[in-house]
Chain A
Amino acid sequence: MKDHLSQEDLVNCQFELGSDEQASAWKQHLAECESCRTALAKLKAKFSSLDLLNVEMVVPQNLVNDLLNKVQSAPVSTRIITWPRMLGLTAAAAVILILAAPHLFKDPDLSDPQLAAKPGMATSKEIAVLKAEEPFPPASAIELNVLPTRDDVQLTIYNSADLTLVREKRNLTMKAGWNWMQFMWVNTLIDPTSLRLEPMKYKDKIDVQALVFPPRLGELGRWLIFSEVSGQVPVEITYLTSGLSWRAFYMGTMSPDEKTMKLEAYVRVINKSGEDYEEAQTRLIVGEVHLLDEVARLARRKYPYGRPIDPYATRESGKDDDERRREKGKYVLWSDGPPPDEDEEGGELMTHKKDIKKEGLSEYFLYTIEGKETIPHRWAKRLPSFDVSDIPIESLYKYDEERWGRSAMRFVSFANDKDHKLGETPIPNGRMRIYRRLDEEKHLAYVGGAEIKYVPIEEDIELDLGRARQVVVEPKLMNYKTDNYLYNGRGDVAGWDEIREWRITVKNTRKIPVTLEITRGFNRPHWTLEPMQDGGYEKHDATHARFNVELEPGSKKEIIYRATTYHGTREQFAK
């Protein structure tokens, strides 16, 4: 027997890389040599590990889309014809040109039906042929176009519902025949069930047939469009998204005498929708809008319209699937495993068309931000809203122990009406900060801030600016006694008066006069008040009296009054 086969021989034998003679010799040797047969078997086992890499590759869809886009944007290069051929062709072309010249430069007769076949517009015959062809399945990348960049976009943000209506204008490149137009919403909060595409031109020649959500391709939808035109077509795409919000901020600057105020309003738009919006016209809705669903929750669903329906889940004899569903009043959305939203109501909702309902609206108002803004994802932008000067205001101090303890509080009030140079639009809720101009050099002092609620037109606004340190109110009980006892049949006290003498010292350490409103409570409706010094009052309500005091700059006043409260059977004596 020959020597054993080398490893190279064994490899070449296994993979048939030798000549016929070599193959024959190896075969004969292996038949006689057990050792070589064992070595060959080991080698085969070793090479079987190559099969570990024998797996089918998955081509990412975005890779294919990107490739096809590049191919579409680059024309097929023209054939390079070598010189000998070119000579003949050039001569032929020259002859043709000379003969055809009179016809080539004629104005086209647009009424000529043959000219309807110019580039961009398919003839009726071509349309019939194109329509007869089946479009490719939506999951293939054939005939697929990816949406080009936006030409224009408008955002209408409904703050109360975390809902934004987006309207985009794009120029799509269509070809005559079937087109698949892809829209992706991955990593955004776009509600795919709200997507709508409408051509702005050639409306009668473009048919948006369906919006399909191919499974296993991720968060994307594809419109199937039949077009009788080829070329650029402007379209409008609308959809609802979540994640955009806005907040109003106000800056009020009071004059040094606190008689007028300049009010500047800003709106801060925050974009957490996952999508960048460039050069967007922004509109803000103030008010309550009633919705069936939350857009953010809708956007995060795995299946836009729920899992495919299992028609056999509720089989009853003699009825078709639609009839059974109508009778049951809802669709069966799952055949195994939990429903997509893990609750029956969520599953039911997904099968119905969504409407924005306007029932129960208090009022809503539309603000349009002037100009256009670019608001990328995770950005916030502050946009100016309005700027009004010399608004007449009232600066008022209040003291009410029951509400604010032993501190005077500062208030600024005005109204959203024409008298106050406002009144054109409601004022959205937001944070207001008030400053006071100290001098002509526009040095400012921060006075205080407050959150304001939505203010309709013709409504008053009162801003609570917090504790006032420069106006001090010190009430002191000077005297207390009880009197006028009444007794019942058993000789027990059944009624009495409580008489309190109060001295309230008020100080104004500011350099401007102030108006102070002091509210005093009696905890009961049966009381009388007798002013003794600067104690002019008004009955505020059943249990409170109110004093209004004007204080000059740097001045001090004392209010003295006697308050009598009636208890038990003495209540009848209250005036």
Chain B
Amino acid sequence: MQKTDEDLIAAHVQGDQKAFAELVNRYGKLLLGYLVRISGSREQAEDMFQETFLRVHSKATTFREGSKFKPWLFRIATNISIDGIRKSKRRPVTVPLEGHGDNPGAESDILPSRSPLPDDGAMASERKQIVQGAINALPTRQRAALVLSYYHGLTHKEIAEAMQCAPGTVKTHLSRALVALAKLLPDMEGETA
């Protein structure tokens, strides 16, 4: 039977090296995706990825029994990413139409377009950059709430635990983020539901 995340963190505290590696295996992609979307920079996201797991390792003994690992992990990641973003004093990224701009990671992780028409691929790439730019334009905490909710499916309660705030505050962050995005995102012509 597969061990739970909580069992693994407990095993890690006891000195089981395999347990930590398994946690990295389970949450690596998820965490990196979160950090890339929230920071808008692949390079910065990879640094934060390492820092997050290293902090998980160093704080493993403080993980309370009965808690859930995933929100705890995202809490650490959110704190690190907010600090990181504030330090880098990022401005909304404006990505040129050609090239990777400041988001090489976003480009490299995006699956190649399956469209046979070269124009379709270029348009999709441009839209992705616009979307990433719009998300980057959000204030940090709104950005974190949006990414955790929309891309990672965390409940408001889990997001609240990750961001160390009340669930109502999470709703407010989400609402403001989405309203802002509604103004920043372009209309999708001819693609209404």
Chain A residues close to B by CB (< 8 Å): 7-8, 10-12, 14-15, 17, 41-50, 52-60, 63-64, 66-68, 70-72, 74, 76-80, 136, 140-144, 175
Binds A, one of B27-35, B65-73, B158-166: B27-35
Of A15, A42, A78, A144, the contact of B174 (CB 8 Å cutoff): A15
Q: Considering the chains assembled together, what is the distance between the CA atoms of A43 and B61 in angstroms?
A: 46
Closest residue of chain A to B150 (Cβ to Cβ) is A50
Asked if B28 and A64 make an inter-chain contact with CB atoms under 8 angstroms apart, the answer reads yes
Q: Considering the chains assembled together, what is the distance between the CA atoms of A12 and B171 in angstroms?
A: 9
Q: Considering the chains assembled together, what is the distance between the CA atoms of A50 and B58 in angstroms?
A: 35
Given contacts A8-B179, A70-B54, list 8 more A-B pairs with CB under 8 A: A17-B175, A41-B192, A48-B191, A49-B185, A49-B186, A50-B181, A59-B29, A70-B50
Q: Considering the chains assembled together, what is the distance between the CA atoms of A512 and B36 in angstroms?
A: 82
Asked if B22 and A142 make an inter-chain contact with CB atoms under 8 angstroms apart, the answer reads yes
Instruction: List, in ascending order, chain B residues with CB within 8 A of A49's CB.
Output: 127, 130-131, 185-186, 188
Instruction: List, in ascending order, chain B residues with CB within 8 A of A70's CB.
Output: 50, 54
Instruction: List, in ascending order, chain A residues with CB within 8 A of B32's CB.
Output: 57, 59
Of B22, B54, B128, B135, the contact of A71 (CB 8 Å cutoff): B54
Asked if A66 and B179 make an inter-chain contact with CB atoms under 8 angstroms apart, the answer reads no
Instruction: List, in ascending order, chain A residues with CB within 8 A of B122's CB.
Output: none
Sample (30) of A-B pairs whose CB atoms are under 8 Å apart: A7-B179, A8-B175, A10-B182, A11-B182, A14-B178, A15-B178, A41-B193, A42-B192, A45-B188, A45-B191, A46-B186, A47-B182, A48-B188, A49-B188, A50-B150, A52-B131, A53-B151, A56-B29, A57-B109, A58-B29, A59-B29, A60-B46, A63-B50, A67-B24, A67-B50, A68-B20, A76-B15, A77-B58, A141-B24, A142-B21
Closest residue of chain B to A11 (Cβ to Cβ) is B178
Q: Does B12 contact A (CB under 8 A)?
A: yes
The binding surface of chain A is classed by DSSP as helix
Instruction: List, in ascending order, chain A residues with CB within 8 A of B85's CB.
Output: none
A79 and B49 contact, Cβ closer than 8 Å, known pairs A53-B151, A57-B29: no
Instruction: List, in ascending order, chain A residues with CB within 8 A of B181's CB.
Output: 47, 50
Instruction: List, in ascending order, chain A residues with CB within 8 A of B81's CB.
Output: none
Instruction: List, in ascending order, chain A residues with CB within 8 A of B24's CB.
Output: 64, 67-68, 141
In order of increasing CB-CB distance, the 4 nearest A-B pairs are: A142-B21, A57-B33, A59-B28, A57-B32
B58 to chain A, nearest CB (A): 6
Q: Considering the chains assembled together, what is the distance between the CA atoms of A43 and B185 in angstroms?
A: 10
Asked if B50 and A57 make an inter-chain contact with CB atoms under 8 angstroms apart, the answer reads no
Asked if B17 and A72 make an inter-chain contact with CB atoms under 8 angstroms apart, the answer reads yes
Q: Considering the chains assembled together, what is the distance between the CA atoms of A60 and B29 in angstroms?
A: 10
Q: Does B93 contact A (CB under 8 A)?
A: no
Q: Which of A15, A41, A70 has the most CB of B within 10 A?
A: A15
Q: Considering the chains assembled together, what is the distance between the CA atoms of A68 and B53 in angstroms?
A: 9
Q: Considering the chains assembled together, what is the distance between the CA atoms of A490 and B111 in angstroms?
A: 99
Asked if B182 and A7 make an inter-chain contact with CB atoms under 8 angstroms apart, the answer reads yes
Instruction: List, in ascending order, chain A residues with CB within 8 A of B191's CB.
Output: 45, 48
Closest residue of chain B to A133 (Cβ to Cβ) is B18
Instruction: List, in ascending order, chain B residues with CB within 8 A of A14's CB.
Output: 178
Q: Considering the chains assembled together, what is the distance between the CA atoms of A49 and B186 in angstroms?
A: 9
B15 to chain A, nearest CB (A): 7
Asked if B124 and A46 make an inter-chain contact with CB atoms under 8 angstroms apart, the answer reads no
Q: Does B143 contact A (CB under 8 A)?
A: no
Instruction: List, in ascending order, chain B residues with CB within 8 A of A71's CB.
Output: 17, 20, 53-54, 57
B141 to chain A, nearest CB (A): 16
Instruction: List, in ascending order, chain A residues with CB within 8 A of B18's CB.
Output: 136, 142-143
Instruction: List, in ascending order, chain A residues with CB within 8 A of B30's CB.
Output: 57
Q: Does B60 contact A (CB under 8 A)?
A: yes
Of A12, A58, A68, A175, the contact of B21 (CB 8 Å cutoff): A68
Q: Considering the chains assembled together, what is the distance between the CA atoms of A140 and B24 in angstroms?
A: 10
Q: Does B110 contact A (CB under 8 A)?
A: yes
Asked if B53 and A53 make an inter-chain contact with CB atoms under 8 angstroms apart, the answer reads no
B19 to chain A, nearest CB (A): 9
Closest residue of chain A to B30 (Cβ to Cβ) is A57
Q: Does B37 contact A (CB under 8 A)?
A: yes
Q: Considering the chains assembled together, what is the distance between the CA atoms of A532 and B68 in angstroms?
A: 115
Closest residue of chain B to A19 (Cβ to Cβ) is B171
Instruction: List, in ascending order, chain B residues with CB within 8 A of A142's CB.
Output: 18, 21-22, 25
A77 and B171 contact, Cβ closer than 8 Å, known pairs A59-B32, A67-B54, A70-B54: no
B192 to chain A, nearest CB (A): 5
Instruction: List, in ascending order, chain A residues with CB within 8 A of B59's CB.
Output: 77
A30 to chain B, nearest CB (A): 14
Asked if A55 and B109 make an inter-chain contact with CB atoms under 8 angstroms apart, the answer reads yes
Q: Considering the chains assembled together, what is the distance between the CA atoms of A46 and B185 in angstroms?
A: 7
Q: Considering the chains assembled together, what is the distance between the CA atoms of A175 and B111 in angstroms?
A: 39
B23 to chain A, nearest CB (A): 10
Instruction: List, in ascending order, chain B residues with CB within 8 A of A76's CB.
Output: 12-13, 15, 57-58, 60-61
Q: Considering the chains assembled together, what is the distance between the CA atoms of A449 and B144 in angstroms?
A: 73
Q: Considering the chains assembled together, what is the distance between the CA atoms of A60 and B188 in angstroms?
A: 34
Residue interface bits B58-101, CB-to-A below 8 A is 1, else 0:
11110000000000000000000000000000000000000000
Q: Does B41 contact A (CB under 8 A)?
A: no
Q: Does B106 contact A (CB under 8 A)?
A: yes
Instruction: List, in ascending order, chain B residues with CB within 8 A of A59's CB.
Output: 28-29, 32, 49
Instruction: List, in ascending order, chain B residues with CB within 8 A of A48's CB.
Output: 188, 191, 193
Q: Does B187 contact A (CB under 8 A)?
A: yes
Instruction: List, in ascending order, chain B residues with CB within 8 A of A55's CB.
Output: 33, 109-111
Instruction: List, in ascending order, chain B residues with CB within 8 A of A50's CB.
Output: 131, 150, 181, 185
Q: Does B140 contact A (CB under 8 A)?
A: no
Q: Does B142 contact A (CB under 8 A)?
A: no
Q: Considering the chains assembled together, what is the distance between the CA atoms of A15 and B170 in angstroms?
A: 13
